[in-house]
Amino acid sequence: MSKEELSRGAQDISQVINRQISSKIEYLQGIKESIESHNDRRVFQLLDNRRYAAEIEHREQQPNNQDVMNLVDDLADQLSTYLSANLIDYLGHAYPFFYYEEYQTGHFRIYFGNWWDRRQFGELDVLNLRFVFNQDEYKKLSRAFELQQSGKRYNSVRIDELSNENDRLQDLLDHSREREQKRNRLQEQLRDANSHGGLFESSKAKESRQELVDQLGQVEDEAKQAENAAEKIKENEKTVLELSKENTILSYEMKSITDTFGGFEEFELANRKLYADYLKHLSTLTDGKQVTSDEQ
Amino acid sequence: MSSNERVVSNTINQVAALSNSIKEGLELGQQYTSLVDELISTTDDEKLLLATKRLSSLDLTNAFVQLPQHYQVADYFLLMMDRLLTLHQIEGFEIFEDHDHQLTATIHPFEKQVTFAFAFDDEHQGAFFNEGASQESLFFIDLDNRQLRFSNHALVDFFVENEFQHFSDLDLQEAVKPLVDFANLLKTQLGFKIDLGILNPTNAYNVRLAKPTMDLTMIDKLFVSTADSQYMLFTLPHKNGALLKLDAGIQLRIFYDQESYSHEWFYNVTDPDDQVSLFDLLIHYPLLREWYLANRDDVAVRSLPLILQSVTDERPTDGQLTSSREEEADDQD
């Protein structure tokens, strides 16, 4: 390469570098200013320009500037905490049954409801403006809505099973006195038979003695079952209570969703639209400060 | 003096002595009748109380003048109660006399199906207000110390458990009203210290649980029973118990006091008009009533012994005995 080519090359590359650096500075300035002026909407736009363009401006396939996007990666938690203030405020109205706990900077757990035994339902992804629901809990809820259509409850079948078993076991227990009496009677009869036995015992006597032994064995089996019955009944009752609690929690959750959204599908739709709905809401804020609910 | 003269003067003395004894007896009778008249005719509450007290301590036994038919101490208490209620236009309470001159009372709308009477306790110088058939003592009244205390246990047994089967919730509430009115009259007019127990409607009043702590499984059971109702059970903000939201802004809290070392559990009922008591809730809400009765051993309220010891004794920290005379503040210890 000639000296001129080298020097022109050096100029070119320095321009490239300067351009890149300017671009980075612009980006960071943008974020800094947006935060200073509480312009949450602009922060979201800067964090994910492509999504913003697609969902808000309806301009498809705007590429993200990869060079700058990761500049604030190490500030993700702090940005999350910062942006959560307005978001949680908004969600307080849109999803009145969700409660949040910041267990770590920028990380939020969602609790469904403030009732007795409410469940942890997932996490709130602030930067991406989406709910990350715990799949097991979410599926239970979805299933509960389905079952409600046919008038059933989530754990009804299992609860019925256990209740029936308890009835059977209780029956065993209830008859323990009679069983005890029968056992005593058989034992006495056996003692009698034994005392008259011995070498000269007739085969008939032997037969009837054997029958006594068999009957006694059966009674003792039942007695053993009954021994554990009390404990098993308690265990089952505990399980039934847990299952019933779950049913109750689900019914409360369903009620909340129905009261706020009308139905499960509407709830799911709202979840999908959270990004767009929230950013639209943010653009109604003046000076980045939250408008009071009266003014909304 | 001759022996003849001595005998004559002795006899005269004896006659005089007898005459005096009869006079004393008659005076006793006179005293009795005037006290009874006072009891049934005075319009002054203090005089009413005084007449009852004096009649209660009047010993009518006399060797020379006997009153074969008269009232008992328990009857004076009943008369006093009836008179006090009448003087203050409280209706629904009526007394009847049987052929033995024993007085019993009926309350609307129970009418003759259920009767009440006092039973005087000599040892503790006070009277129990008892239901006729079950002999449940609903409250104890001590005139000397001016105290009245309801038995939570008896109130639940009698109204919530038993009579519930024969009467509606509105009937039961109506029946209990004269009793509460009576207690309140004693407090406002005569400066009594009263303990309404679960009948207390004040929002600030907390009823203690009988057991030292509440088994959380019990609250789980209450929670589960709300599933079929329109009511919801919430957790309290400080995680120290539960809150049941009922109709018309009525709230039942079941909670323990975090401040106290012992973490004792309480029930508290609040409503916008300060008129609803735990008793009302047990009567009106099958959800609560069934839960309470099914788990009574674990969730029952504490029921203090009816016999009150002297006034200087330990004061309960919950819903203190309130007296209008001393204007105690509703502070919790």
The whole-chain average pLDDT of chain B stands at 85
Tell me how close the Cα of B265 comes to any Cα of chain A, in angstroms: 17
| Helix extents (H) in A117-175 | 135-149, 156-174
pLDDT at A274 exceeding the cut of 90: yes
ipTM score assigned to the predicted complex:
0.76
pLDDT at A68 exceeding the cut of 80: no
pLDDT at A67: 66
pTM for this entry: 0.80
Task: Give residue ranges of A with CB < 8 Å to any B CB.
Answer: 114-118, 241, 244-245, 247-248, 251-252
Asked if the C-beta of B232 comes within 8 angstroms of chain A's C-beta atoms, the answer is yes
Smallest Cα–Cα separation from A110: which of A128, A137, A82?
A137
Q: What chain B residue is nearest to A242 in terms of C-alpha separation?
A: B220
Tell me how close the Cα of B234 comes to any Cα of chain A, in angstroms: 4
Contact B233, B244 (CB under 8 A): yes
Tell me how close the Cα of B177 comes to any Cα of chain A, in angstroms: 34
Q: What chain A residue is nearest to B217 in terms of C-alpha separation?
A: A241
Measured between beta carbons, the chain A residues lying within 8 angstroms of B232 are 115, 252
Asked if the C-beta of B251 comes within 8 angstroms of chain A's C-beta atoms, the answer is no
3-state secondary structure chain B: CCHHHHHHHHHHHHHHHHHHHHHHHHHHHHHHHHHHHHHHHCCCHHHHHHHHHHHHCCCCCCCCCCCCCCCCHHHHHHHHHHHHHHHCCCCCEEEEECCCCCEEEEECCCHHHCCEEEEEECCCCEEEEEECCCCCEEEEEECCCCEEEECHHHHHHHHHHHHHHCCCHHHHHHHHHHHHHHHHHHHHHHCCEEECHHHCCCCCCEEEECCCCCCHHHHHHHHHHHHHCCCEEEECCCCCEEEEECHHHCEEEEEECCCCCCCCEEEEEECCCCCCCHHHHHHHCHHHHHHHHHCHHHHCECCCCCCCCCCCCCCCCCCCCECCCCCCCCCCC
Tell me whether residues A241 and B217 touch, CB distance under 8 A.
yes
Measured between beta carbons, the chain B residues lying within 8 angstroms of A244 are 224, 227
pLDDT values of chain B reduced to their tens digit, one per residue, 333 residues? 555 555 567 888 888 888 888 888 888 888 888 998 999 999 999 999 999 999 888 877 777 777 777 788 899 999 999 999 999 999 999 999 877 778 899 998 888 888 999 999 888 889 999 998 888 899 999 999 999 999 999 999 988 887 777 888 888 989 999 999 999 999 999 999 999 999 999 999 999 999 988 999 999 999 999 998 999 999 998 889 999 999 999 999 999 988 888 888 999 999 999 999 999 999 999 999 999 999 999 999 998 887 755 433 333 444 434 433 333 333 322
Name which of A99, A116, A120, A247 to mutate to probe chain B: the one with the most chain B Cβ atoms within 10 A of its Cβ: A116
Asked if the C-beta of B227 comes within 8 angstroms of chain A's C-beta atoms, the answer is yes
Tell me how close the Cα of B304 comes to any Cα of chain A, in angstroms: 31
Tell me whether residues B224 and A247 touch, CB distance under 8 A.
yes
